[in-house]
Chains A and B, each alone.
Chain A
Amino acid sequence: MERLSDWMTRIFLMLILIIVTLPIVLGYAWLLISTFSRRTFGLIPVNARGAFGGFTLQNWSFLKDPLIWQVTLNTLIFALGITVGVIVLSASAGYALSRMNFPGRRFTLTLTLLLHAFPSITLLLAIYFVLRWISALPVIGGLFGYNTLGGVTLVSIAMQLPLGIWLMKGFFDHVPWDMERAALIDGCSRFQAWWKVVMPQIRPGVFALAIFSFIQGWGYYSFLIPYSFMIDQTRGTISTYLNNMISTTSPVNYGQVAAVGLFQLIPVLLFFLLAQKYLLRIFSGGMKGTA
């Protein structure tokens, strides 16, 4: 009797979960179905006469547009730049904070936490001025100034940095000191010890942070920052390209928009499903030490 009521409870709870989760499932189902349909009424693919059918690959004709490959390349460079930048910078800063004693260490750590909580999106207007200043510098300005891929990449790295430093410090804290000490006694410099001895030991953590940074760069940072600081469409990302499509496309052509969306989603989904276990650690990373 008790077992039965226990089962009833579980089924009831599952039902609640299914209902609240429904919008997410419907959203992805819609994306998948309308990508391959002439158009859809709700989730049902229909042909020109409004009857069931109308399956097509025509929505993928955007792949013939050279602009999509340009913005895809831009997005890839952008996301990889963020990944490499975040890993290298936060690994070196995290190492110093984990292993070294220097005046201002306490202050730097507090600052990292504070910046981690502070939403830098509010500073976008002022960042516009910083980028314009960088633009005025010789050589550097052309690479990292306003309206350059390098500039928006730097801004995005900075925004991701506090979380990265915090996580990296945590990874380093868990590495025993013995090998590093041996390396230092054998005459390695701090830099060599860090790069050759300690870094290989935190590979899983680096891997997780790298995938996280790539996903964030590919899908999240690639919208607002390039949207605000890039003028030419050819310098944009898939996100700005897609946003442009959404605001100009009529409802009948939803299929094309959906196809571009799926195109952008596929690499992220692959990474996410591959590394889901590692990523959970990062998503709750801000939580360290509180529970």
Chain B
Amino acid sequence: MRGDLRKTNTRSGRGDRWNAIGFLFPSLLLVILFFFLPVIITFFLSATNMSSSTGFRNWQWVGLANYTKILNSPRALSRLWLTLQYVALTLVFFNVGMGLLLAILTTRIPARMGTLFRVVWLLPRVTPIVVYVMMWIFLAADAPYGVINQLLLEPLGVAPRYWIAAHPLLAIVLVNGYIGASFGMIIFTSAIQSIPPDLFWAAVVDGASWWKQIRYVVLPLLRWPLLFVTVYQTLSLLMSFEQILILTDGAYNTEVWALWAYHRALNNYWGHFQWGFGAALAAILVLIGIMLSALYLRFFRLNTLIQRPQIESP
């Protein structure tokens, strides 16, 4: 009986191959067109001097010249520093910190209230991105229009100002953080909710305070989700720049690395596009991206996820 089954499997295996190609083909085509090919093009372009002045025809190979240009550029260092600050601050205080705080607090208060807060925190994630950033621009606007000036700071006697220009780094961290926090929140919440209640009871019987329960029961069990969120969000923070593009478009010293690459290559005031140089800036991010996402793969239990399909075709 077993032998028969195996035989049918091998026979159907060949039919499966053609079926699988049919089912996968459209997706593969898009992946090749918009992932593989672009990665190759990025590295290829980064070794040329192609720009809107050379056009698509009269460009030359320049080897690593674009990269040495980046290394020697005084801007590179300041933008790298800005990018690191932005990623680290957003990650620590919001994507991980606030996410964790929200998960811990909303699972501790009555369930309905907890759900309500979580839904409110998800709103920025589903709100159209331009509308969301617009809210921040007007919250932070100068007197008499801005909400923050009027409601929060006037009573405290703080002089009104346009907060995005006054504290640009804080602004981009807040705007990104209030979207980013909900990802960690959802993941940490489901991790906390899946902790067996016995563990909490045991801690209570032992006389552990709420704080101690968090410290000694919850946090150790959240180790993997915490690492996962950190890696995943580092990656998306390093690469994403849409919010900053809408908020300041790089003004007030907020041009992070990814936005720098975008400006140079595709969108700037002068209409002079340095595809080669922009590609070199992007290639550095692509390399970091490939390395970090390979690291991210380790956080999945790959062997259980990639096991052979349990049921074979008849």
Contacts and interface: CB of A to CB of B under 8 A. Distances in A.
A291 B150 contact: no
Interface stretch (A52-60, A61-69, A201-209, A281-289): A281-289
Contacts of B249: 247
B23 A264 contact: no
Looking at A115, A123, A126, A190, the one whose CB has the most chain B CB atoms below 10 A away is A126
A241 B148 CA distance: 26
Interface string A190-215: 11001000000000000000000001
Looking at A14, A16, A23, the one whose CB has the most chain B CB atoms below 10 A away is A23
Nearest to B247: A246
Nearest to A225: B242
Nearest to B56: A132
Given A98-B309, A130-B38, A257 B190 contact: no
Contact of B139 (A14, A23, A124): A23
A159 interface: yes
A20 B174 CA distance: 11
B139 A102 contact: no
Interface stretch (B61-69, B73-81, B84-92, B278-286): B278-286
Interface in A248-291: 251, 254, 257-258, 261-262, 264-265, 268-269, 272, 276, 279-280, 283-284, 286-291
B309 A101 contact: yes
Contacts of B124: 24
A117 B306 contact: no
A27 B147 CA distance: 9
A73 interface: no
B294 A114 contact: yes
Looking at B27, B123, B301, the one whose CB has the most chain A CB atoms below 10 A away is B27
A161 B312 CA distance: 26
Contacts of B134: 242, 246, 257-258, 261
B109 A14 contact: yes
Looking at B38, B131, B290, the one whose CB has the most chain A CB atoms below 10 A away is B131
Interface residues of A, number: 112
A27 B186 contact: no
A118 B293 contact: yes
B131 A242 contact: yes
B16 A125 contact: no
A185 B314 contact: yes
B129 A123 contact: no
B127 A268 contact: yes
A42 B150 contact: yes
A41 to B, nearest CB: 4
A89 interface: yes
Interface in A17-41: 17, 20-21, 23-28, 30-31, 34, 39-41
B149 to A, nearest CB: 7
A117 B232 contact: yes
Contact of B306 (A110, A238, A286): A110
Contact of B24 (A108, A194, A247, A283): A108
Nearest to B294: A114
A284 B187 contact: yes
Contact of B186 (A34, A113, A124, A280): A280
B255 to A, nearest CB: 15
B246 A120 contact: no
B261 A93 contact: no
Nearest to B143: A41
A9 B278 CA distance: 53
B121 A24 contact: yes
A24 B147 contact: no
B-side interface mostly = helix
B96 to A, nearest CB: 15
Contact of A30 (B138, B302, B308): B138
Contact of B113 (A14, A161, A238): A14
Contact of B126 (A98, A159, A272): A272
Given A27-B136, A89-B27, A289-B304, 17 more contacts: A13-B109, A17-B102, A24-B121, A31-B131, A90-B27, A117-B293, A127-B34, A129-B45, A157-B30, A158-B30, A161-B27, A194-B23, A223-B242, A223-B246, A254-B141, A269-B126, A286-B232
Interface of B: 9, 13, 16-17, 19-24, 26-28, 30-31, 33-35, 37-42, 45, 98, 101-102, 105-106, 108-110, 113, 117, 119-132, 134-139, 141-142, 144-151, 174, 178, 182-183, 186-187, 190-191, 194, 210, 224-225, 228, 232, 235-236, 238-242, 245-246, 249, 258, 261-262, 265-267, 275, 278-279, 282, 285-286, 289-290, 292-294, 296-297, 299-302, 304-306, 308-309, 311-314
Interface of A: 9-10, 13-14, 16-17, 20-21, 23-28, 30-31, 34, 39-44, 50, 88-90, 92-93, 95-103, 105-106, 108-111, 113-115, 117-130, 134, 154-155, 157-159, 161, 165, 177, 181, 184-185, 190-191, 194, 215, 218-220, 222-224, 228, 238-239, 242-243, 246-247, 251, 254, 257-258, 261-262, 264-265, 268-269, 272, 276, 279-280, 283-284, 286-291
9 contacts: A26-B148, A123-B34, A125-B265, A181-B314, A191-B19, A194-B23, A223-B130, A254-B145, A290-B301
